[in-house]
């Protein structure tokens, strides 16, 4: 895991070394082990290295190959050993044991199509000396970040937005439309735009090709998930076995490392599954040493999952590290977290995740496996229930529909009204999206000035009515992109590489091919995951059906410390140049007085205000 910097001068002037060094030094946390630079005629590469595979100097970047190619890369290609063996049969030779050298050989052999052969996470730039081009690529699901910006005569590529602040002429200006969508709907990272008006991100599964002669560039989508994972007619027993094999292999590949590997353990099904499969694989390999896990815990039982963490720890005999995030540290650490996150975040759960990775770093666990992606793939969110029921109704599966409705009442405590509403809402086109738009933009929207801001989003243009459509939306737009952003920044802030086995593309495509009833059965979400790992994961976790998510006692903190939250909101209003008004204070007061249900809206405004100050963001009238 690393960080990259690229500066291109479109007037064909050479690059000042001080500029590329400043841009690269800002992300020293992404790569504390090494740094390096390469200067071309009108461009420069910068790199910070976090040594994970091949810790020797042979893994240094920028890396050169065949006296033709130079690369700066961030991420890991997990199947590099298999690719290296294949490339050797084509006559390629390798000096290092690194996946980076394999990436260069693969590019020489297969050109831009090489990325379709990679199983991993990446964002890289390859200079081709003969063609005078820079080829850039981002992995299928955007696990690793890649930003670009044009400032004056320079074109810039970076791993983090904050790198652009080192460039002469940089000025942070607000992208009002994206700010509105974040504040009102809580969405971000759903397009190539960011909250900074001149910063864009290369979308997941896209390549960027830059011509150093003409200074033209093109962006092309190389991975289209919609065309993957077509329905298969497979009986459940066969599907369960294949799912288990794919998931186990995904975890196995992500254990490849020359440094210590551990896992995040929340106590939920997803992270527990990873920990238990890792434990199984280590036993098979007769590996020495115990697996280490890090968990976020709380003294308030409603938000604490130690009962399940203890069950997993007892079964696997892991070394369990635990952190207890405290409110009295939240605001004192907020500026630092905001700086590392680059953009504001939707809840204080990001603070808890920050503490988890901090503890991992303190215990020298350099690689951490985490469970991102399982909910999106396997119907883990409550929104999937309505789509599942609607699917049963539309196919005339009345007996199963009746049984699922009964189980929803028993297992998830749904009322009949909730069940019917969630089901019927997925039948008429646009119903759910229109309802969500009306609800979300009601009282909260009055706290934001809308002059010159479009309140519509791409998300409202494509309603989802099936579980597959919802999974695609979750993976590509609504949930996963922002969760991966949080994961990358919080882990890299502490020089930790985070790996996400559920996003092995083979597993993703297979999960999308499965019938709905393999994912939800008897109102239990992620059915195939539960049945695939029933023998490995503690029974109390397998049979757990409450959906806590990765949470903090944010509601308790807010109600017990209303004065602190109010002060933060007042600071946000003052910093917003009239964009935000005092109506948000009325929402806070209503929540603290018990007149309005708690939601995460208040935190979004607080985080936005801190972000404005940390990055000195200008809001144009």
Average pLDDT, the chain: 93
- Number of domains comprising the chain: 4
Instruction: Work out the burial of residue 284: count CB atoms within 10 Å of its CB; fewer than 13 is exposed, 13-18 middle, 19 or more buried.
Output: exposed
3-state secondary structure 68-121: CEEEEEEEEECCHHHHHHHHHHCCCCCCCCCHHHHHHHHHHHHHHHHHHHCCEE
Which of the 8 DSSP states describes residue 173? B
What pairing do the DSSP bridges indicate for beta strands 367-369 and 199-201?
A: unpaired
Asked whether residue 599 is assigned to any structural domain, the reply reads: yes
DSSP track, 506-524:
HHHHHHHTS-GGGT-BTTB
Asked whether residue 421 is assigned to any structural domain, the reply reads: yes
Asked whether residue 313 is assigned to any structural domain, the reply reads: yes
56 and 145 share a domain? yes
96 and 81 share a domain? yes
214 and 330 share a domain? no
Average pLDDT, stretch 60-83?
98
Average pLDDT, stretch 482-495?
98
Average pLDDT, stretch 250-258?
97
Contacts with 397 (C-beta within 8 Å, 6 or more apart), sequence order: none
Instruction: Work out the burial of residue 310: count CB atoms within 10 Å of its CB; fewer than 13 is exposed, 13-18 middle, 19 or more buried.
Output: middle
* CA distances for 249 relative to 162, 254, 256, 277, 284, angstroms: 36, 9, 11, 10, 13
Question: For residue 431, is pLDDT > 50?
Answer: no
Contact 116, 221 (CB under 8 A): no
Contacts with 320 (C-beta within 8 Å, 6 or more apart), sequence order: 265, 292, 293, 295, 309, 313
Question: For residue 434, is pLDDT > 60?
Answer: no
Sign of CA dihedral 467, 486, 321, 120: positive
| Whole-number pLDDT of residue 458 | 56
Asked whether residue 548 is assigned to any structural domain, the reply reads: no
Q: Give the whole-angstrom CA distance, residue 387 versus residue 415.
A: 17
Contact 144, 27 (CB under 8 A): no
302 and 204 share a domain? no
DSSP track, 291-334:
-EEEEE--SSGGG--HHHHHHHHHHHT-EEEEE---HHHHHHHH
Q: Give the whole-angstrom CA distance, residue 214 versus residue 206.
A: 21
Note the pLDDT tens digit of each residue in 98-127: 999 999 999 999 999 999 999 999 999 999
Contacts with 254 (C-beta within 8 Å, 6 or more apart), sequence order: 78, 261, 369, 499, 501, 504
397 and 368 share a domain? no
Question: For residue 439, is pLDDT > 60?
Answer: no
Contact 98, 54 (CB under 8 A): yes
Task: State pTM to two decimals.
Answer: 0.94
Q: Give the domain-ending residue among 407, 433, 468.
A: 468
Question: For residue 428, is pLDDT > 60?
Answer: no
| Whole-number pLDDT of residue 442 | 63
Model confidence at 621, pLDDT cuts 50, 70, 90, reads confident
Nearest CA among 339, 384, 368, 350 for reference residue 552: 350
Asked whether residue 235 is assigned to any structural domain, the reply reads: no
| Whole-number pLDDT of residue 456 | 53
What are the φ/ψ torsions at residue 262 (nearest 5 degrees)? -130, -165
Domain that holds residue 59: 2-174+191-224
Q: Give the whole-angstrom CA distance, residue 470 versus residue 474.
A: 6
Average pLDDT, stretch 285-294?
85
Average pLDDT, stretch 283-307?
90
Over its C-alpha atoms, the chain yields an Rg (Å, rounded) of: 24
The secondary element (H helix, E strand) that includes residue 139 is none
Nearest CA among 375, 426, 419, 339 for reference residue 547: 375
81 and 201 share a domain? yes
Note the pLDDT tens digit of each residue in 593-609: 999 999 889 999 999 99
Asked whether residue 246 is assigned to any structural domain, the reply reads: no
CATH of the domain at 60: 3.60.20.10
| Whole-number pLDDT of residue 463 | 76
Q: Give the whole-angstrom CA distance, residue 611 versus residue 338.
A: 6
Q: Give the whole-angstrom CA distance, residue 344 versus residue 340.
A: 10
Q: Give the whole-angstrom CA distance, residue 205 versus residue 225.
A: 9
CA angle 124, 125, 127 (to 5 degrees): 150
433 and 493 share a domain? no
Residue reference for tokens 């393999």: 518
Annotated catalytic residue: which of 2, 114, 264, 276? 2
Which of the 8 DSSP states describes residue 32? B
CATH of the domain at 289: 3.40.50.620
Model confidence at 479, pLDDT cuts 50, 70, 90, reads very high
392 and 462 share a domain? yes
For this structure, is 264 an active site residue? no
Average pLDDT, stretch 249-278?
97
Bridge partners of residue 72, in order along the sequence: 125
Q: How far apart are the first and last CA of the chain?
A: 40
Q: Give the whole-angstrom CA distance, residue 38 versus residue 73.
A: 13
| Whole-number pLDDT of residue 462 | 58
Average pLDDT, stretch 50-57?
97
Asked whether residue 305 is assigned to any structural domain, the reply reads: yes
Note the pLDDT tens digit of each residue in 521-579: 999 999 999 999 999 999 999 999 887 778 899 999 999 999 999 999 999 999 999 99
Q: Give the whole-angstrom CA distance, residue 456 versus residue 497.
A: 36
Helix (H, G, I), strand (E, B) or coil at 234: coil
Asked whether residue 568 is assigned to any structural domain, the reply reads: yes
Q: Give the domain-ending residue among 491, 514, 542.
A: 542
């Amino acid at each position: 895991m690393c960080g990259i910097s690229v500066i291109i001068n479109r007037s064909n002037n050479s690059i000042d070394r001080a500029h590329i060094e400043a841009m690269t030094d800002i992300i020293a946390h992404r790569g504390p082990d090494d740094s390096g630079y390469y200067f071309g005629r009108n461009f420069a590469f910068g790199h910070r290295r976090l040594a994970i595979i091949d810790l020797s100097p042979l893994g240094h970047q920028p890396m050169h190959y065949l006296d033709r190619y130079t690369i700066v890369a961030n991420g890991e290609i997990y199947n590099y050993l298999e690719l290296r063996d294949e490339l050797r049969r084509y006559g390629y030779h390798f000096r290092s044991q690194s996946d980076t050298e394999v990436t260069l050989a693969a590019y020489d052999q297969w050109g831009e199509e090489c990325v379709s052969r990679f199983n991993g996470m990446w964002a890289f730039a390859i200079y081709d000396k003969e063609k005078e081009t820079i080829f850039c690529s981002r992995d299928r699901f955007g696990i690793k970040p890649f930003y670009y910006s044009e400032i004056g005569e320079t074109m810039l590529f970076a791993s983090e937005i904050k790198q652009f602040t080192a460039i002469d002429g940089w000025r942070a200006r607000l992208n009002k439309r994206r700010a509105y969508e974040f504040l009102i709907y809580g969405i971000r990272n759903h397009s190539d735009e960011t909250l900074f008006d001149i910063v864009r991100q290369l979308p997941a599964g896209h390549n960027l090709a830059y011509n150093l002669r003409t200074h033209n560039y093109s962006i092309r989508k190389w991975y289209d998930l919609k065309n993957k994972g077509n329905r298969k007619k497979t009986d459940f027993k066969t599907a369960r076995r294949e799912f288990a094999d794919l998931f186990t292999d995904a975890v196995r590949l992500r254990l490849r490392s020359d440094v210590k590997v551990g896992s995040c353990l929340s106590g939920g099904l997803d992270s527990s599954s990873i920990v238990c499969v890792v434990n199984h694989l280590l036993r098979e390999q007769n590996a020495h040493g115990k697996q280490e896990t890090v968990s976020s815990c709380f003294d308030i039982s409603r938000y604490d999952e130690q009962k399940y963490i203890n069950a997993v720890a007892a079964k696997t005999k892991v070394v369990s590290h635990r952190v207890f995030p405290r409110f009295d540290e939240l605001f004192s650490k907020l500026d630092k977290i905001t700086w590392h996150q680059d953009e504001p975040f939707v809840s204080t759960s990001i603070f808890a995740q920050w503490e988890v990775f901090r503890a991992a770093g303190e215990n020298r666990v350099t690689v951490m496996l985490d469970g991102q992606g399982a909910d999106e793939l396997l119907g883990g969110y409550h929104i999937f229930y309505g789509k599942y029921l609607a699917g049963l109704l539309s196919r005339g599966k009345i007996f199963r529909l009746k049984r699922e409705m009964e189980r929803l009442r028993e297992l998830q405590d749904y009322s009949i009204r909730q069940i019917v509403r969630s089901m019927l809402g997925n039948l008429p086109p646009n119903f759910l999206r229109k309802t969500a738009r009306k609800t979300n933009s009601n009282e909260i929207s009055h706290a934001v000035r809308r002059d010159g801001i479009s309140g519509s989003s791409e998300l409202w243009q494509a309603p989802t009515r099936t579980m597959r459509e919802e999974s695609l939306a979750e993976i590509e737009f609504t949930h996963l992109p922002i969760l991966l952003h949080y994961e990358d920044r919080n882990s890299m802030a502490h020089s930790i590489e985070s790996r996400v086995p559920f996003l092995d593309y083979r597993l993703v495509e297979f999960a999308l091919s499965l019938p709905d009833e393999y994912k939800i059965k008897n109102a239990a979400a992620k059915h195939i995951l539960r049945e695939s790992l029933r023998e490995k994961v503690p029974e109390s976790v397998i049979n757990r059906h409450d959906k806590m998510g990765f949470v903090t006692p944010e509601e308790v903190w807010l109600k017990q410390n209303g004065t602190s939250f109010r002060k933060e909101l007042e600071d946000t209003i003052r910093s917003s140049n009239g964009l935000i008004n005092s109506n948000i204070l009325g929402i806070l007061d209503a929540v603290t007085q018990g007149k309005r249900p708690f939601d995460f809206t208040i935190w979004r405004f607080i985080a936005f205000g801190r972000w404005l100050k940390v990055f000195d963001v200008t809001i144009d009238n």
